[in-house]
Amino acid sequence: MKELENQKAVNQESKNQESVKAEALPDSMAVIDAFLAGAGGEVVTVGEEPADWRDAPLPEGHKSGFVAVIGRPSVGKSTLVNALVGQKVSIVSAKSQTTRTRVSAILNAPEYQLIFIDTPGIHKKTPHKLNRLMVEQAVSAIPDADVILFVVDVSRLPYEEDEMIATLLREKAEKRPVFFVLNKMDRLPMHRAKQNVESYWALLPTYTDSIPVSALNGTNLPLLHDHILAQIPEGPRYYPGDQLTDQTEHQIAGELIREALLHHTYQEVPHSLAVLVEDYEERENGVLYLAATLWVERESQKPILIGKGGERLKTIGSAARRELERFIGGKVFLDLWVKVKPKWRDEDARLRELGFK
């Protein structure tokens, strides 16, 4: 019995000591706060998260700038941009002219913000108004850039479009730094390396830097990143620190659907396809309902897209839905319709409906 009373006394003494410590803590913390305030610091207690750098004032010497990614079709510009920012921002496919509009991909860090401008491939033949708009968007990115990446397929000798782009850069890049990004170096036969590389250098002898890379494998991308950053001026954040792209959710959804279409269609069909997102809303059950119309130019292309018994359209829908669910992080109900829109690539009203200006 006496032992029990002694234990109670010990417990009471322990509680009294904890009470004294709790009362003394605010004063102690006040002293520490005052000291750190004078030293420019702050108290972070156990269980308290430090302030996110995205919400903090810009550090001294913060850099920011725009990096235009220029090149002919199918040289790996979008793959390069996605790899540099570490996220899928631009859609990719083996089809030429996959990118139709300028897409900003934003790489954020406490000390800098890099805005990569992925552009449509510059091509010589422009049979439709859409093609001309695509080339105009690419060319217009050159004068506004702080750094220009001239992406080429170094596994091949220069094409006529490469020569055309070099001429554009001589005319429009002025004193802006231009990097040769010698992509697909993993496919370059060693016996042709010197000839191919020097053939590209000859197109633009005034280039600032030249780095061989493999965008697909990530080879030399950290080196390219560091060389770009060295050319970027000090400046503010042009976008919030957590923003990845300038594209809206509707635009991203439409592009992800078009990416699935490009992977499952062939010959002339991919180039005559367009996607118009008609409905995009979250239902009460938490599922995103998304309805989109797929445009083709000719009646004969409609059954090709739909497939026997609707099988191809189902395959396209399943592939698109997987990417959409990855993008939003939730369930998606995707409703696809196919319509014939003759000559939409040459009609101003149709192009405006798709977001082209």
Quote the mean pLDDT of the chain.
Answer: 88
The residue extents of the domains of the chain are 1-50, 63-231, 249-353
Q: Convert the chain into a string of H (helix), E (strand) and C (coil).
A: CHHHHHHHHHHHHHHHHHHHHHHHHHHHHHHHHHHHHHHCCCCCCCCCCCCCCCCCCCCCCCEEEEEEEECCCCCCHHHHHHHHHCCCCCCCCCCCCCCCCCEEEEEEECCEEEEEEECCCCCCCCCCHHHHHHHHHHHHCCCCCCEEEEEEECCCCCCHHHHHHHHHHHHHCCCCCEEEEEECHHHCCHHHHHHHHHHHHHHCCCCCEEEECECCCCECHHHHHHHHHHHCCECCCCCCCCCCECCCHHHHHHHHHHHHHHHHCCCCCHHHCEEEEEEEEECCCCCEEEEEEEEECCCCHHHHHHCHHHHHHHHHHHHHHHHHHHHHCCCEEEEEEEEECCCHHHCHHHHHHCCCC
CATH architecture of 63-231: 3-Layer(aba) Sandwich (3.40)
Sorted by sequence, the CB contacts under 8 Å of residue 284 that are 6+ apart come out as none
Q: Distance of CA 108 to CAs 113, 114, 135, 147, 342, Å?
A: 5, 7, 28, 17, 43
pLDDT greater than 50 at residue 302: yes
CATH architecture of 249-353: 2-Layer Sandwich (3.30)
pLDDT greater than 90 at residue 112: yes
Lowest mean pLDDT among 32-46, 175-189, 196-210, 211-225: 32-46
pLDDT value for 3:
46
The 10s digit of each residue's pLDDT in 119-168 is: 999 999 889 999 999 999 999 999 999 999 999 999 999 999 999 999 99
pLDDT value for 175:
87
The residue behind tokens 């957590």 is 242
The 10s digit of each residue's pLDDT in 228-261 is: 999 999 999 999 999 999 999 999 999 999 999 9
pLDDT greater than 50 at residue 99: yes
The residue behind tokens 């006040």 is 30
More confident residue, 143 or 34: 143
In 3D, which of 156, 188, 1, 172 has the Cα closest to residue 70? 172
- Place 357 in a pLDDT band, splitting at 50, 70 and 90: confident
pLDDT value for 31:
47
- Place 346 in a pLDDT band, splitting at 50, 70 and 90: very high
pLDDT value for 42:
46
pLDDT greater than 50 at residue 23: no
More confident residue, 53 or 10: 53
pLDDT value for 326:
94
pLDDT value for 12:
53
pLDDT greater than 80 at residue 19: no
pLDDT value for 51:
61
The 10s digit of each residue's pLDDT in 52-70 is: 888 888 999 999 999 999 9
pLDDT value for 106:
97
